[in-house]
Amino acid sequence: MKKYEINTYIDHAVLKPEMTQEEVKDAIQLGIYYKVKTVCVRPCDIELAVEMCRGTQTGVSCVLSFPHGTTLSEIKAAEARVYIQLGVDEIDMVVNYSYIRSKLWQKVEDDIKAVTDIAKQSNVLVKVIFETSQLTKDEIAKATECAIRAGADFVKTSTGFYGEGATIEDVQTMLDAANGRIMVKASGGIRDAEQAQVFLNMGVSRLGNGFSSTPNICK
């Protein structure tokens, strides 16, 4: 099997809503120690993460409209503007997957574009979270097309907070639909190096995992 520097593919998620500031600091520091690609934080922790990651090999990503994705597109755009001003490098937005299930494809595209239009002005990457466990393969494929048309950088499987996380079948559906036009992030339920390796071998460009799993994945 091909060998990867797995840490450089990891978005190290520090997202549990109950975490104290000291716990958040410790979790961010763990990501910095393992030189992960980004620490993915709650919006309230962006300033802390940006300060801690300054001068390191680790960037800062944050979640938007997390974990349900049902806020108005105008609110998502406003969130993106504020988070970019605070210094994030990447944004992981939850699309309104109710729209996907309703087959309202123009609304899906517009929801994503509300964020990408803001992010592209500052060269901030946008990952679109689908919550694939709630979707059919056809819905996943069509949503991937919407994300491509809207100018997103990644499509992403899951929030990790609802339903099943990344599966081989759903990731393959995303990769097939993407066909090299958009990157794919496998996220949710990845807890060891073996699982991470499987998704990397499939061709994903990024992995999302809870912060406590990073040491085991990077062993």
* Count, residues in the chain: 219
Q: Annotated catalytic residue: which of 37, 76, 113, 156?
A: 156
Q: What would the mean pLDDT of 178-205 be, rounded to a whole number?
A: 97
156: annotated active-site residue: yes
Burial tier of 67 (Cβ tally within 10 Å: 0-12, 13-18, 19+): middle
With contact defined as beta carbons under 8 Å apart, do 17 and 43 qualify?
no
pLDDT tens per residue, range 130-148:
999 999 999 999 999 999 9
Measured CA to CA, the distance from residue 185 to residue 87 in angstroms comes to: 22
Question: Residue 9: which residues within 8 A CB-CB, separation 6 or more?
Answer: 37, 196, 200, 204, 205, 206, 207
Sketch the domain layout of the chain as residue ranges.
Answer: 6-217
Q: Annotated catalytic residue: which of 11, 45, 89, 92?
A: 92
The yes-or-no verdict on residue 163 having pLDDT over 60 is: yes
Task: Look up residue 12 and give its amino acid.
Answer: H
37: annotated active-site residue: no
- Decide if domain 6-217 falls under CATH 3.40.50.410: no
Q: Global pTM? A: 0.96
Q: Annotated catalytic residue: which of 76, 113, 127, 185?
A: 185
